[in-house]
Amino acid sequence: MNKQTIIGYLKTILFSFLFALITTIGIVAYTLNTISIEEHIRAQQEEEKIDNETLEIMIAKSEYLKSLKPGSYSISLKLALLYELKGDMKTAEEEYKSAINKAPYHEFKPKFEFSKFLINNKRYTEAEAVMDGIGEKPKTKLITYKGEIFESLGDKYFEQNKFDLAQQKYCKSKVYFGTLHKNKNVKTLNEKIASSLVYLAEDKVKQNKTDEAIEHLRDAQKLINAPLIKYQLAILLIAKDPVKSCKYFDEVFKEAPELINYKEYLALLTGLSEYEELKENYVQADLYKFKIKKIKDYYIENIVKLSDFNVDTAVGRIRTNRILRTYKIDFIFRFKNASLLEMKNVYLQFKFKDGDNVLFEENRQVVTPNNILEPGAAIDYIQLSSPRKHYKQTPQEIKVEIYASKQFDAYKILLKEIYIVRSKKKHRTFIEKLFLKHIYPYLGL
């Protein structure tokens, strides 16, 4: 047997050994992974069982204490909360009522908790009656309880689109929190009342009750300074009071120009200018004409509309390196000019977020005066890659916000919002586990 034959024989043995080793490792890794999944399911079932058992033990203990102290309202209240957690609503209600009957006249918590129970079970009128039945007393806790209950009722009515009832309950809540000078709560309630009034105004517009809609919006404006409310007033007042409408348009133009329908704004100014000329008030007419020119120039230079863009590509992926515990985001984006005019300047801003945390952002000027984008034409594909980031836990979902503007420092519109979802987790191989346990800690990464 010559040397070459012996080397070939040894190679065959070595390859057979390596193949057997790799196969064995794969089988072991698969078995361990299967065991791990089964153990996780068993652990989850056991945890739910423990939770139910703990609840039953707590109920039994409280029932025993109740037998020792049958006159204790606090034990009945605790039992009511426990039975509610268990889902036994009938017994929970009996215990709430028992706690109310046992409580001294100056103790309001049982009625507060019972009202919350009724709200959770959609018995809103009963919940309100419970709190109203206490009467008005100069007690801080009672006033706070009433403020919270009526705000909660307002939220429930708002969710059901019952905006009239919602704003009534919010107003009642505001009175209680205002009495205690809780300014933060009052501010929140002002916003909620204003939102209810805006929706009420929309309902009135649908019913052709414009005057009532205007009154609702004016009431909302007194509570919060929101450009959207001013803009809605501007629209509704075009026919009724064009001069007042123009004033609202002017305010919105200064505060939030992106809200405006410029066709309506310019038509209003043109009509006012012509009206002043008929009255031979040429100074005022020229002032409106000057505004028209100023707004047209601003619009051409700064205003972008969502309808100007047709996003045909917006895809991304999260690449992970489980050995080094790092991840990287890749993203590709493109849009077409969907407007009837050529684009001379377009800036894009990309924000990559994990929840509210901005991971990184990038700004690009994708259209320039030297590279005009014709109607229907598309920009070149934009390819973005984030810096490689270390992680303790890889984000499962990355939100990408894409903003567009005509000038770098001009107002931006949110062009697109997409989510990059991490692909399903692959379980670590036996080799990776060994590396992470015995080698990775000493790499200093």
Residue 406 lies in a domain: yes
Instruction: Tell me, yes or no, whether 442 lies in a domain.
Output: no
Tell me the one-letter amino acid at 233.
L
E-only strand ranges, 221-356? 309-321, 326-337, 346-354
- For the chain, give the mean pLDDT: 85
Q: Residue 37 has what pLDDT? A: 41
Q: What is the DSSP pairing of strand 397-405 with strand 346-354? A: antiparallel
> How many Cβ atoms sit within 10 Å of the Cβ of residue 355?
10
Q: What is the mean pLDDT of residues 412-419?
A: 90
Please state the domain count of the chain: 1
Q: Is the dihedral of CA 274, 279, 282, 286 positive or negative?
A: negative
Question: Does some domain include residue 389?
Answer: yes
Confidence band for 387, pLDDT divided at 50, 70 and 90 = confident
Specify if 247 maps to a domain.
no
Tell me how far apart the alpha carbons of residues 445 and 440 are, in angstroms, rounded to a whole number. 8
Provide the CATH number for the domain around residue 318: 2.60.40.10
Residue 85: phi and psi, rounded to 5, are -65, -35
Tell me which amino acid residue 109 is: K
Residue 46's pLDDT band, with cuts at 50, 70 and 90, is low
The whole-model pTM stands at 0.66
- pLDDT tens profile 178-198: 999 999 999 999 999 999 999
The per-residue pLDDT for range 91-138, each reduced to its tens digit, is 999 999 999 999 998 899 999 999 999 999 999 999 999 999 999 999
**Helices marked H in 133-241:** 140-159, 163-179, 183-206, 210-223, 227-240
Q: Residue 13 above 80 pLDDT?
A: no
pLDDT of residue 56: 86
Is residue 355 in some structural domain? yes
Is residue 312 within 8 A of residue 378, CB to CB? The reply is yes
Of 426 and 259, the one with more pLDDT: 259
Query: And the tokens for 38?
Result: 């089964």
Task: Render pLDDT for 165-183 as a digit per residue (tens, 0 to 9).
Answer: 999 999 999 999 999 999 9
Note whether residue 282 is domain-resident. Answer: no
**What per-residue confidence (pLDDT) applies to 120?**
94
Tens-digit pLDDT profile for residues 322-354: 777 788 889 999 999 998 888 989 999 999 998
User: Please, which pLDDT band fits residue 67 given cuts at 50, 70 and 90?
Assistant: confident
The answer as to whether 284 is a domain residue is: no
d(CA 335, CA 338): 9
Q: Is residue 19 part of a domain?
A: no
Angle CA(105)–CA(149)–CA(74) in degrees, nearest 5? 40
Domain boundaries, position 380: 308-430
Amino acid at 23: T
Residue with tokens 């490689």: 388
Tell me the C-alpha distance between 274 and 60, whole Å.
Answer: 83
